[in-house]
Amino acid sequence: MPFSVFEVFRIGIGPSSSHTVGPMLAVNRFLQLLKPQLTEVARVQVDLYGSLALTGVGHGTNGAVILGLLGEQPHSVNPATAQDKVDLVRLDQQLLLDGTHEISFSCATDLLFHMRESLPQHPNGMRLTAFDADGNVLVKRAYFSIGGGAVQDEDEIDVSVKLEVTRSSEPCPFASAQDLLNWCETKQCSIADIVLDNELTYQDEQTTRLRLLEIWQVMHDCVERGLITEGTLPGGLSLKRRAPAMFRQAGHGSDGKLSIDFALMDILSAFAIAVNEENAAGGRVVTAPTNGSAGVIPAVLSYYTRFNPSANDDGIIRFLLTAAGIGMLYKRNASISAAEMGCQGEIGVSASMAAAGLVAVMGGTNLQVENAAEIAMEHFLGMTCDPLNGLVQVPCIERNSMGAIKAINAARMAMMSDGRHLVSLDQVIETMRQTGIDMQSKYKETSLGGLAVNVVFC
């Protein structure tokens, strides 16, 4: 089951990779299927199930579906005009399907939230149906947003083969951290080198480097926007943006209450929170590996680029390749979907990836990289996903700060030893998977348990 780096890192918009980016891509795929009959379409109905229905409004799924029907794509849609386009469709009850063919569209009858139903294949399920003027079905298809913006249709998804190791055209296929370490030992190279060798199956090295630097540029720009944008986040919680004030306070060193020793920690928190406040506002972000955890890797990578005098583009690429390799292991052997794993599959995975990337650019060994990834995840095991009002805000935004801080701590701990340790990364990934399976569904991105019910906000 090979993965490209760019299936781990995707450019999209907030607030959710599973509930915004994934559904928009699913609609894009449906339109491709529908193209030969597009002019015959009189009506499209979209049915949302499970977590997509339960937290879809707070996660922007309804808007993402409308944008997808208009032909917009996550990596290219303009966040500044996206909401206006959605509002216009709601007002006029008309839309240009795929940007070319006008049909009627009423959110009340054509975009349905089935909050008491879930499709059996995955908790993030949706079904799209196109009808002609006589009410006959032209095309009907189910899609599943499986985490991080990845989408599978009803034929592709099969949980029974998720753990199988399949033959790959990649030169160094790996299905476990041990496989990855073995390849490094055989070739006497780094984890980043193995990931890059495999990535050349999909495109050449120059293209890969340019795309990785584009990923970093989007991350960097998101941090910068979040550090200067004031105001209140949308959604009804009246949550004030905090990143600008945090960054200003951290820049002044000691505030009289905390030692100046905390300044870098405060700056790191500001970086992470800046990204996820942008995400909550529907801004452009990189799934890293999800939108809900999009702030951890940019924060740690910003820490590296700003405070390491030897930081350069090669280091940024090495960081992202190493982090992506770790992310692939979670995608292969567990899941990065909070609807399946809880927040351990989002913040836990992003912290694990970030810790590995930081060790790689700080000169750590492959064993230390694997150890850092394991340490970071070990201390997020069992974390639930219980967002207030179904919004990717509380506790999601602050969790990115905690993830970034834990990632750096994990990296430091790993580099204080020779990399040999008791619990392997493979063991902690399997533990995360089992914990996710055992976790009650009300704690897995449904807003039916935890903080979502104990903190009542009307």
The answer to whether residues 200 and 89 belong to one domain is: no
Residues 19 and 116 occupy one common structural domain: yes
Position 5 in a domain: no
Q: Is residue 453 part of a domain?
A: no
Distance CA 30, CA 94 (A): 19
User: Is the alpha carbon torsion for 158, 183, 337, 87 positive or negative?
Assistant: negative
Residue 168 lies in a domain: no
Helix (H) or strand (E) holding 153: strand 150-153
Enter the tokens of residue 363: 């000169």
Whether residues 205 and 155 share a domain: the answer is no
| Strand order across the 137-147 sheet | 111-114, 43-50, 124-131, 137-147, 150-153
Is there a contact between 367 and 420 (Cβ–Cβ < 8 Å)?
yes
Does 152 lie in the same domain as 188? Answer: no
In a domain, 3, yes or no: no
96 burial (CB, 10 Å; 0-12 / 13-18 / 19+) is middle
DSSP output for 195-233: HHHHHTTTS-HHHHHHHHHHHHHHHHHHHHHHHH--SB-
Q: What is the pLDDT of residue 164?
A: 42
- Assess whether 307 and 412 both reside in one domain: yes
Q: Are residues 277 and 416 in the same domain?
A: yes
pLDDT tens for 99-136 read 999 999 999 999 999 999 999 999 999 999 999 999 99
- Check: CB of residue 396 under 8 Å from CB of residue 289: no
Per-residue pLDDT, 200? 97
Q: Which domain holds residue 148?
A: 15-161
Same domain for 139 and 229? no
The pLDDT value given to residue 419: 84
What six digits make up the tokens of 130? 């196109």
Shared domain for 326 and 388, answered yes or no, is yes
Residues 51 and 156 in one domain: yes
| Token code pair at residue 95 | 């839309």
Q: 151 with 201, same domain? A: no
Query: Rounded CA gap, 357 and 448, in Å?
Result: 35
Q: Are residues 155 and 192 in the same domain?
A: no
- Report yes or no: 445 and 293 within 8 Å, Cβ to Cβ: no
Model pLDDT, residue 174 = 97
Q: Output b/e per residue, 5-20; b: 16+ Cβ within 10 A.
A: bbbbbbbbbbbbbbbb
CA-based nearest residue to 15, from 44, 71, 57, 69: 57
Query: 136, 161, 186 — which closes off a domain?
Result: 161
d(CA 67, CA 223): 25
Return the pLDDT at 165. 41
Q: What is the dihedral of CA 427, 430, 432, 437, to 10 degrees?
A: -150
**Residue among 346, 308, 304 at smallest CA distance from 19:** 346
Choose the final residue of a domain: 100, 127, 161: 161
- CA-CA distance, 116 to 175, in Å (whole number)? 36
β-strands 10-13, 101-104 pairing:
unpaired
Q: Is residue 9 part of a domain?
A: no
19 part of a folded domain: yes
The span from the CA of 309 to the CA of 222, in Å, is: 22
DSSP 3-state percent helix, strand, coil across the chain (nearest 5): 55, 10, 35
In a domain, 137, yes or no: yes
Name 7's Cβ contacts closer than 8 Å, sequence gap at least 6.
Answer: 148, 150, 331
CA atoms of 45 and 27, how far apart (whole Å): 11
pLDDT of residue 28: 98
What DSSP state is assigned to residue 37? G
Q: Which residues of the chain have pLDDT under 70?
A: 1-2, 159-168, 252-261, 457-458
271 plus 123 within the same structural domain? no
How many domains does one find in the chain? 2
Q: How far is the C-alpha of 72 from the C-alpha of 151, rounded, in Å?
A: 16
Bridge partners of 283? none
Are residues 242 and 320 in contact, defined by beta-carbon separation less than 8 angstroms? no
Cβ count near 110 (within 10 Å) = 21
Q: How far apart are CA 265 and CA 331, in angstroms?
A: 30
- Domain boundary residue, one of 131, 161, 191: 161
- 342: phi then psi, degrees, rounded to nearest 5: 75, -170
Q: What is the CATH number of the domain that holds 241?
A: 1.10.4100
Domain-embedded: residue 269:
yes
CATH number for the domain that contains residue 130: 3.30.1330.90
